Amino acid sequence: MSFVPLSAAERADIRISFEFFPAKAEDMEAQLWASISDLVDWKPEFVSVTYGAGGSTKAPTLSTVRRLIDETPLKTAAHLTCVGATREEVHQVVDEFRAVGVNHFVALRGDPVQGVGAAYQPHPGGYANAAELAGALRGIADFEISVSAYPEKHPESRDVSADIDMLKRKVDNGAHRALTQFFFDNDVYERYLERVRAAGISVPVVPGIMPIQNLAQLKRFASACGSSVPSWLDERFAGTEDHPAERAKIATSIAAEQIADLCRRGVNEFHIYTMNRSQLTSAVLERLGLERAGRAADAGAAA
């Protein structure tokens, strides 16, 4: 795949959203907010903040979401899981987020409290899966609801058909869009989308894009979530171990090429996993020819 510049019409049609995770230390907190400050001018449709297994990051997630809502113009979604919690506990969390202004949830089952790879067991007094959680959210209020989708199937699913059946249950229970796990083979996404549409699912299925900050770290993530890492990624990054600027240039090209190719397949929405770092995300968007809102305004004023 090589990069072919997008037309003005293709660029104008692109819509993006960003994902962040709550910081775990003071230096990471500073990095998170510096990244948010840097990315705000890209005018994302929304941003989302992740939520740890069993609610392990509820307090920092709530704090991050509250600050985003209070101090930025960004429409903010909170991730919400149901693993390891009763229905009453889930409803309490929903009420807390709602009280700070959240009206958009990313409804997820969540990883087992024991960690990725452990057998999942629904809480006897809780919601069994994300489909039930989406239905509960719809029953509480008129929330905007996003859910997850897996072009290469969830690691615990029997097969892709079972995975798509679960997605349909989520949508039937009120989900407005699906955000996919990251992938690097656009043919895989396109075949998945064809099966999703054939199943009667019409909501947007937004590709999750992962600009590669660190290839070794990416492989660990991919192993845990069932995404494949093609061998050509190793080939593209070969020989750059001691050349961070070259690695960043290659990572920028890979993500920009993927998005541009998806645009030409009729896709115009993208959910970018920022890893709380703005430089690479911004470089990708600049490579695509998009403009920050501030720069566009400055250009108009100077004309």
Helix (H, G, I), strand (E, B) or coil at 79: strand
How far is Cα 137 from Cα 67, in angstroms, rounded to an integer? 23
Q: Cα 229 to chain center, whole Å?
A: 18
Indicate the pairing of strand 104-108 with strand 144-149: parallel
Is residue 169 within 8 A of residue 201, CB to CB? The reply is no
Nearest to residue 63, comparing CAs of 102, 90, 91, 34? 102
Q: Which amino acid is at 194?
A: E
List all residues 6 or more positions away from 268 whose beta carbon is below 8 Å from its beta carbon: 13, 14, 15
**Residue 283 in tokens:** 């470089």
Quote the radius of gyration of the chain (alpha carbons, Å): 19
275 — phi, psi (to 5°)? 55, 30
If DSSP states are collapsed to H, E and C, what string results for 252-283? Answer: HHHHHHHHHHHHHCCCCEEEEECCCCCHHHHH
Indicate the pairing of strand 104-108 with strand 269-273: unpaired
**Residue 272 in tokens:** 């970018």
How far is Cα 16 from Cα 215, in angstroms, rounded to an integer? 23
Give whole-number Cα distances, 71 to 40, 95, 122, in Å: 11, 21, 37
Catalytic residues: 19
